[in-house]
Structure 1
Amino acid sequence: MYATERQQIITTLLTDEGRVAVVELARRFDVTTETIRRDLAALDGAGILRRVHGGAVPRDRASTLEPSLTERQDHQASAKSAIARRALDVLGEDFRGSVYLDAGTTTAAVATQLVRRASETPVDVVTHALTLAHDLAADLVASPVGSLTVIGGRVRGLTAAAVGAETVRAIEGLRPDVAFVGTNGVSSEFGLSTPDPDEAAVKRAIVHAARRVVVVADAEKLGRELLVGFADLADIDVLVTDGVPDATLAAALADAGVEVWQA
């Protein structure tokens, strides 16, 4: 196979899967990893992809790229709803306790499903996400079957979530039974990551505070690495996703003892 043919296939795989790995490509094409690296270097030079450790990602996947909450609201909506329904299975039928909801559109889907569940089972919810708090207030605060606590701080406009030292300190003083955490990337080597340092600090505090950590992430997040890491794979208990992790990530999750639940 000529290099140009191989590079065309690599481009197609990148579009379909969102990431390609050097080792897997070498095995697929039965060539050396050095050959694949030359292919990726050529495609990088042509502006088609961006090389990262162990492979490549699309050019638009910059480590600090972060769409607004409005832009993400309807993106992958059905997948996020399915992930939310599956994620709430972690609570079981007789759960009585506290739940922390991270900011994000996938955790917002968890909140929607949680409200329906709370009509039968009391749940005490804590969040620093103002949009989630607004949506939950009418359903939980006015209901005898649950409560809502909102963590304050400086509000970050892009995500409408409280961030900063005050927010982190407040979370560090909590011990929620279960935390549902969103992420922008799940990587075998870098763990969980997000573009913004302030968001990362809050997420890190949530992960350390919770008795059990459930990460909710659609397939687009798998294999991605953003600028700031906030948790190792070993720090989480369950990953709920609608995708299938590639072999490298699947092995890393297994080694870290993470349960992977398919939505």
Structure 2
Amino acid sequence: MTALGFLYPGHSAADDYPRIEQLLGSDIRVDLVHTDLSEDAQRVDALRELGTPERLAAGVQELRHAGAEAVVWACTSGSFVPGWEGAREQVRALAQAAGLPASSTSLAFVHAVRELGVRRVAVGAAYPDDVASLFADFLRDAGIEVAGVHGAGTRTAAEAGAWGEREVFALARAADRPEAEALLLPGTALHTAAHITALEKELGKPVLTANQVTVWEALRLADRRVNAPELGALFTREPLVQA
């Protein structure tokens, strides 16, 4: 049994995780600890507060006791707003607090793009434009070319979490670019686990979503490789990178 630990802010799309667990197979366990969401706002100042070392450290003891082999900060915006170097420092502090291999959703997106071997992506975010642009900047700092970024303007995680299939597909269509080799849908508040293969079929390219790459990243840290076609191209490829 491989136990994976996640620090998830609030509850907006937390039910994606048991869904993903079911698709991974019986020897993978997904454990969530819900971190404090003192203010549900898609503003840079509020997002910075989400990922402070004190908030993240508060949840790691429960994950250690559950036997987690790796821990991932399951929040895209709360991990990219500090910038590329800030995101790496955030994860170093989390690993030290947890005594476990650690990462974040934003870094997971970078590793997943490299895994797929693509260079140019499009971004479809539920965030306001200014926050979506910060994610695009984060990707560029990691050496990834961003062909386009589309922000849908939601102001809270709860608003994004209330979206259904219609809204998620509309976001993907609005954000996709012909020259993009993959489409990224950041935001762990979005319910996407049930839609990945259908999105990939419609767009004709890999689609990376926040909760999907977060779980993939935890598996990578735990040195597990799982074939789960229902979770898209990322879960059906041979690894291209190990770092």
* TM-score, scaled to structure 2: 0.37
TM-score relative to the length of structure 1: 0.35
Higher strand share: 1
Is the radius of gyration larger for structure 1 or structure 2?
A: 1
